[in-house]
A and B are shown apart, each in its own frame.
Chain A
């Protein structure tokens, strides 16, 4: 496919496809991490494909976040569809449960915040892709031995979060110093780059692993594209992630 795109055999055009409408489904995006709160939970709904990209917020939901040590709090609606915590503090090693009740249905997700892994350094390199130089970021860290670790990297360029999903697991490098390479689409001198290094649990890794397959319309390459594997019960879309995070920033020289 790539080959034929290069040789100019492929052509693309926008077409009309008559798609069914679907009953609106709840979408929950929730995070808690080991930096200081508050933490935000966003509730919205799906819309039909031909509608504009305005996603109705879900208001008036009853949301409780709790941890396995018995701490729990009711979140307050901070703005339409956005709810936030006021006292809970994310702590590595604890398991968090998010309980959402909306329009008579209950959605529950749990996520365990892994131990922090040190983010040793961030380097900027140019690799040669043919005679074109491609900028890449190398994230250097040492994987803890004997435990399964899952990582997610979030790239932010001049305060804009990159849509790329970068994941790594230690299946073949358990306990080793690891260099993970992140590509970036565009980069200019003096750009401010921040890389967030998240230690995530298996459920969240699976969510992003499967989300990456359909991101940006990629699902067309799969014989059976499907919604990402959510850690919520009762068919809610989205995820609830408890992660430990470190970050590093640099200014492109």
Chain B
């Protein structure tokens, strides 16, 4: 971290020297405006705006499609690029401040080969940041996943450095970090449980999503709160030009999106819904053990925006989703997320863009179960109330400054258990947890020369543990040795963190560059999960008097090169990550419904390092990518494996993804995806013994074994007509028996022997989806 701080300090020095070099005697004027889709009016995020006369100048449109570029007076050829769209050039005489809205039109399929392609082709080389993956939502449409459900979380897992947490698990691991170390944001609101159906599907309906950015390296200073990555998902604003209905009927679920203008070109809305309907078929069964079963999930995304004058726009967006499992009236289990975001964009000047957000996010679950003539109720809830203020000052062509603050109030109800008819009912209520998280950040984008650029910043964060509550202190053998009762609103403990962030890019020549970055990140909400699958009942706990903030320091360096007139992009990145205050569990830990859950935890450290290779073909009828990661992720806990480093569960040595998409000249496109990874590190028994007449497995070391290697081929074909389309897919096309779990048990046919039984899911799963729009 010291190196990082020195570099930061040097960069700050540069900030004060640099303006002298770049100062010009000519007057400066600002060109600002928005980049939009000409057909829908949807703001385009991440479009590149360049000036031909100033080759090293460029700016990227922000999350609301806004850009601002301040340069010396003159006449410029301004060109706007955006992936999948036709580039647009315009002559601008900049002798006064100018405001322009660029309306880009989508490339038609047959124009794919036309010379003027939409993307700024060498962005791979010129962008300062490394370790970012921008996923093209349209690209996701052609990548098949389980049951033909398009899924952003599954597609993200096909990128190097990002590993799937297992078959049918929406969780993922980024550069050796745990699955709770990813900040998943939907319109700025954290989504605490991103999976449906116990992890087989993600909560993100791709019809409602406009933009996805994945930060796996040094995250920008405006993000914080998780160690490993940020997955920033933005919902569609809705068509501002005309009403539109589109949807799809699939094997598992059906989708419908309605969007349109509220006031043409000024205000729009979008509403998307999705629901599974397997349960509707269950009802048709004559078997009451089936027809009383309830198994479904649904999602609702809604967003509206309104432009107030030239300088202000407000957005209101929300998500609501639920999973339901149940049986008649005797058993019910429901869980889901809800988020709401109210945003206000304001232009303080042609150069200063501001966004203010009020965010609410919640996740909860409820269980009811009949037993012994009584009914048991279980419930748990986590809630966030957040105020965010972000400023972006587009100072000039060489400097940009982002700064802002973030204040979050977290309230966690870990669990309440009660009985319907208990005479002296004394429900078990685990103490609620309250905390207040604050952050201030500043980040400077600085381009001192055409070949060198920096983005460096610092984030100051604090996390306060609040009352009311009882705070226990434990000894080594889990006994409570002290307790402190704190009243409402009192601050029990505050942790402060300073998180430097730095990214540097040095362009070697027109075709290659070297990038480096380092960053510290901290995490104060920790997920306790001791199961191989993502469970709706997994518990989030805040940092406390016992649980310290988790800290990660990441260093990475990469080489980026484009070939054949930028048709091929190649990159390789090496990273090293040092992790502090990591959490694991004592043997036999009781994590749920335990007021002393913190006494069940182990604290230790970790390290993760690896090298990633990525080769992408961006253009042509055949495109796609190959990614390979060689990596290691290790943990160290005094009480586990004699305190030596051991492989983390997510330690998968080799990880390969191949994605190929072929766009035929007719309306068909074909795709194939192949993945391979070394099996997870797991704990298998090394022996067995008998007790109470039963055979038990004997475990000796944590994560001493490996699951078998995982590999799978998926195939897809899409026919897209003007108003309708069909998607056919085949998951696990060569029927590999991938191990979902391995059970060590007594042989049911010969009780004197034991056997290992592998359970596999999903061989040859075909799916068909009908899509329509009108």
| Contacting residues, chain B, for A21 (C-beta < 8 A) | 686-687
Cβ of A184 under 8 Å from chain B: no
Contact (Cβ within 8 A) A25 B698: yes
Instruction: Please give the number of chain A residues whose Cβ is less than 8 angstroms from any Cβ of chain B in the complex.
Output: 73
On whether A206 and B689 interact (CB within 8 A), knowing A10-B760, A131-B289, A220-B741, the answer reads no
Cα distance A214–B698 when bound, in Å? 10
Cβ of B287 under 8 Å from chain A: yes
Cα distance A237–B694 when bound, in Å? 14
A 141-166 to B, binary, CB cutoff 8 A, 1 in contact else 0: 00000000000000000000101000
Question: What's the minimum C-beta distance from A24 to chain B, rounded to whole angstroms?
Answer: 8
Contact (Cβ within 8 A) A222 B530: yes
| Contacting residues, chain B, for A78 (C-beta < 8 A) | none
Cα distance A49–B168 when bound, in Å? 30
Cβ of B244 under 8 Å from chain A: no
| Contacting residues, chain B, for A10 (C-beta < 8 A) | 740, 759-761
Contact of B689 among A45, A132, A161 (CB under 8 A): A45
Contact (Cβ within 8 A) B419 A52: no
Contact (Cβ within 8 A) A224 B696: no
| Contacting residues, chain B, for A172 (C-beta < 8 A) | 417-419, 422, 426-428
Question: What's the minimum C-beta distance from A235 to chain B, rounded to whole angstroms?
Answer: 11
Cα distance A228–B756 when bound, in Å? 20
Cβ of B753 under 8 Å from chain A: yes
CB closest chain-A residue, reference B649: A223
Cα distance A187–B588 when bound, in Å? 33
CB closest chain-A residue, reference B694: A163
Interface segment among A100-108, A175-183, A242-250: the answer is: A175-183
Cα distance A73–B571 when bound, in Å? 74
Cβ of B751 under 8 Å from chain A: yes
Contact (Cβ within 8 A) B198 A1: yes
Contact (Cβ within 8 A) A44 B689: yes
Contact (Cβ within 8 A) B426 A174: yes
Contact of B531 among A22, A177, A221, A226 (CB under 8 A): A221
| Contacting residues, chain B, for A46 (C-beta < 8 A) | 687-689, 698
Contact (Cβ within 8 A) A55 B529: no
Cα distance A230–B63 when bound, in Å? 56
Contact (Cβ within 8 A) A223 B759: no
Cα distance A12–B694 when bound, in Å? 23
Cα distance A163–B428 when bound, in Å? 29
Contact of B588 among A19, A53, A174, A228 (CB under 8 A): A228
* A/B interface sample: 13 pairs, CB < 8 A: A10-B761, A12-B760, A13-B737, A25-B698, A45-B689, A48-B687, A163-B693, A206-B588, A214-B699, A216-B694, A224-B683, A226-B683, A228-B696
18 further contact pairs, Cβ within 8 A, besides A15-B758, A20-B700, A229-B588: A1-B198, A4-B200, A11-B761, A11-B763, A22-B686, A29-B691, A45-B689, A48-B688, A53-B690, A53-B754, A176-B423, A179-B374, A220-B742, A220-B744, A225-B699, A226-B587, A226-B702, A229-B587
Give me the interface of A with B, judged by CB distance under 8 Å: 1, 3-4, 9-17, 19-22, 24-25, 27, 29, 44-50, 52-55, 129-132, 138, 161, 163, 171-181, 206, 209-211, 213-229, 237-239
Which 7 A-B pairs have CB atoms at the shortest separation, nearest pair first?
Answer: A130-B289, A217-B745, A210-B588, A226-B587, A179-B372, A217-B743, A22-B686
